[in-house]
Amino acid sequence: MKIACIGGGPAGLYFAILMKKLDPAHQITVYERNRPGDTFGWGVVFSDQTLENLSGADEDTRREIIDSFAHWDDIDIHFGGRVIRSGGHAFCGIARRHLLEILARRAEGLGVELVYEREVEGVHELADADLIVAADGINSKVRSAYAEHFRPDIAVGRCKYIWLGTHKLFEAFTFLFEQTAHGWFTVHAYRFDDDTSTFIVEAPEEVWQAEGLAEADTAASIDFCERLFGKYLDGHRLMSNAGHMVGSPWVSFRRVLNQTWIKDNVVLMGDAAHTAHFSIGSGTKLALEDAIALAQAFERAPDDVAAALRAYENERKLDVLRLQSAARNSMSWFEHVDRYTGLAPEQFAYSLLTRSQRVSHENLRLRDRAYLEAVERWYFDQAVRTAGASDADGGAASEDRVHPPAPMFAPLRLRGVRLDNRVVVSPMAMYSAEDGVAGDFHLVHLGSRAVGGAGLVFTEMTCVSAEGRITPGCAGLYTDAHTAAWRRIVDFVHANSRAKICAQLGHAGPKGATKLGWEGMDEPLDAAAAWALIAPSAQPWKPGHQVPRAMTRADMDAIRDQFVAAVARAAEAGFDMVELHMAHGYLLSAFLSPLSNQRSDDYGGSLERRLRFPLEVFEAARAAWPDDRPMSVRISATDWHPQGLQPDDAVEIARALAARGVDLIDVSAGQTSPEARPVYGRMFQTPLSDQIRNQAGVATMAVGNIYEPDHVNSILAAGRADLVAMARPHLADPYWTLHAAARLGYADQAWPPPYLAGKEQLERLQERAADMALLV
């Protein structure tokens, strides 16, 4: 084939090498707009995993790259007057210029033609090529020329950054944090050869603007950075190699996605196809792995360009999306670093290390057990200091133990209620009540999960009136019979476990009068069986559903009083805690969301007005609830809709509730509109909990596709939530917490006395499995 590669970066050069090795008869030309050696940036970072991916592709290149690497295992985080070190991360760095020299030398040695200082204005200039590889970078002219076909999605980051170098040698991957009068600046620094380190400085654009850096040239920018971070440089200067760039030396990261990477015989590769934020060091990794995948596709289909390109895109897109998701999390952390600077240095550092959600709690244990146990010791000790010790945790501080407990076993105090651990059984609709009465099923369902070791057990949404039910099978708390039924369950939980139990109270509003979940989720009842619905506006939940009546002020008074009465009944039944349901499109949620609240009076329009009635209900309920018992609120922190409630709105809602005495925000998302477009994934709602907790300054509970102890411990230790709720895992395993305790070696987890023989056997089996793993 005749192959033209537009762009002489790692993607284009490495693909040329691999294709020339695959078939020396290929006629391959690489066109590069810059001179040899012109490059933005200093060193690039690889992980050991990236090096493994290079194995078998071109051993000569791999060997020369490895011989040029600077290796390190440690990450140093300088924050709050402390230096916190974590080891075992297995990184290596190489000068970007040297990497390009290695690739260019290898390509020329194999017979690839390299043409420098040649700007390819369009693929029409290469009409005789069988294959055109557009590896022309983040500002790809090829992608721009055919934007209607590739359909790029480009998002600009919130921070400005400058990529500098220095002869100060940072032997660990180093993060530096310094605050000015206007905000925080961050440095990412690492050594990449015997005498030079990369030194990337970034800050949110508004901070950068306030410091006058928008008008600063390279010399002035370097002077500012040296003054701010001089104490870390030991007298060394900062340097720029971006003289070939036009304009400000500060740039914004741009995240690039494309709907497709292929047009006829043209294919996008590297930054032209996708980008990943430099904070996870993966741009060069992605470029090299693109080249490997495309070359392998041609090895499998040497005579079919179209088939090879389709195979390449299908293979790479999912891997790239996963990495971009992690990179987005990482970038967001640095863009909002001021969200975390109120954390203690131990938690700040842990939050940084786990920011992408690719590095987990147990992964850190494998990398550096001593570091992780220091974090666990700190977390448990500060939890015991604030919550007080109890028999459940042996009354012992972590220093009295061989191994400190995992964060999930740390106690938490909410007002006068002390939880023995941070695991929560999430509220889950069971649709099994008769006339609102919780029966034997609820006793067994909730009782078994309390016995199963969770620190806190939630009821399903328990309705404040018959008309407020979601389905005919929903439980209620609006008659004496309901109160008695719940008292029986609460008494069982208190008598047979150390768990606390919370009543979640709500009104279905526009989502009421539907079938039982297994008969048709959110499907309306037949007209004869349905009851009249009310809502903020006369807007059905979705087409085909009953149109609710828009609420009057008299309706609001009645609903408020129903919540107050239900709260009083919850106190009479002995519940330890109450939660008001203001999420998922039910009545109070429908007031909060602009998608469902179309009112033009004082209860619609701005967020402040939409909040008015929910806050009124909360204040009345809080006044009716014992002062020494906590109250939480569940909210949908986003509607997953561009015209709906946004995470920043959720922060304001949380602040308003906190000012009125809420103790915990239960952070859910969506289910407020059938037009929502949620972004699912592991722990997908946790970033919302993180934002609310660390911006609003209120305790939160995370929920949403959390199912492993590792997830729970990562969320808690990073300060992303104070409690973690799980639904489906507890449906599959009522004893999830007891099993997790045995697996993690936490012997102080309370078990019911009749189950102690099972505890001893399970712990023995876990120890035996661990010993066998060591032998293997």
Give the residue numbers marked as catalytic.
Answer: 586
Element (H, E) at 223: helix 218-233
Beta carbons within 10 angstroms of residue 266's beta carbon: 23
User: What gap in Å lies between CA 694 and CA 650, rounded to an integer?
Assistant: 12
Pairing relationship of beta strands 91-95 and 152-166 according to DSSP bridges = unpaired
User: Could you identify the residue written with the tokens 């994934």?
Assistant: 681
User: Could you identify the residue written with the tokens 């768990």?
Assistant: 499
Element (H, E) at 481: helix 480-496
Task: Quote the crossing angle between the two packed helices 709-717 and 736-744, to the nearest 10°.
Answer: 80
CB-CB contact of 581 with 504 (8 Å): yes
Give the bridge partners for 530, in sequence order.
none
Integer angstrom CA distances of residue 92 from 18, 175, 327: 23, 16, 19
CB within 8 Å of 256: residues ≥ 6 apart: 138, 152, 153, 154, 271, 272, 273, 274, 275
Phi, psi of 241 (to 5 degrees): -120, 25
- For 221, the token pair is 């920018």
Task: Quote the crossing angle between the two packed helices 756-775 and 736-744, to the nearest 10°.
Answer: 40
CB-CB contact of 446 with 722 (8 Å): no
What DSSP assignment string belongs to 23-86? -TT-EEEEEESSPTT--S-SEEEEEHHHHHHHTTT-HHHHHHHHHT-EEE--EEEEETTEEEEE
User: What gap in Å lies between CA 251 and CA 42, rounded to an integer?
Assistant: 15
Q: Which of 354, 353, 327 is nearest to 712 (CA)?
A: 354
Beta carbons within 10 angstroms of residue 682's beta carbon: 13
CB-CB contact of 140 with 134 (8 Å): yes
Q: Which of 410, 393, 397, 466 is nearest to 433 (CA)?
A: 466
Tell me the residue type at 35: R
CB-CB contact of 706 with 684 (8 Å): no
Integer angstrom CA distances of residue 497 from 129, 136, 383, 724, 751: 73, 63, 21, 19, 8
User: What gap in Å lies between CA 457 and CA 501, rounded to an integer?
Assistant: 5
User: What gap in Å lies between CA 729 and CA 43, rounded to an integer?
Assistant: 44
User: What gap in Å lies between CA 749 and CA 729, rounded to an integer?
Assistant: 19
- For 69, the token pair is 């690497």
Q: Which of 356, 369, 295 is nearest to 328 (CA)?
A: 356
Phi, psi of 44 (to 5 degrees): -120, 155
User: What gap in Å lies between CA 263 and CA 267, rounded to an integer?
Assistant: 6
Integer angstrom CA distances of residue 175 from 73, 186, 253: 14, 7, 18
User: Could you identify the residue written with the tokens 């239900």?
Assistant: 566
User: What gap in Å lies between CA 710 and CA 733, rounded to an integer?
Assistant: 17
Beta carbons within 10 angstroms of residue 94's beta carbon: 21
Integer angstrom CA distances of residue 313 from 310, 321, 414, 751: 5, 12, 51, 52
Burial class from Cβ neighbours inside 10 Å (0-12, 13-18, 19+) for residue 234 reads exposed
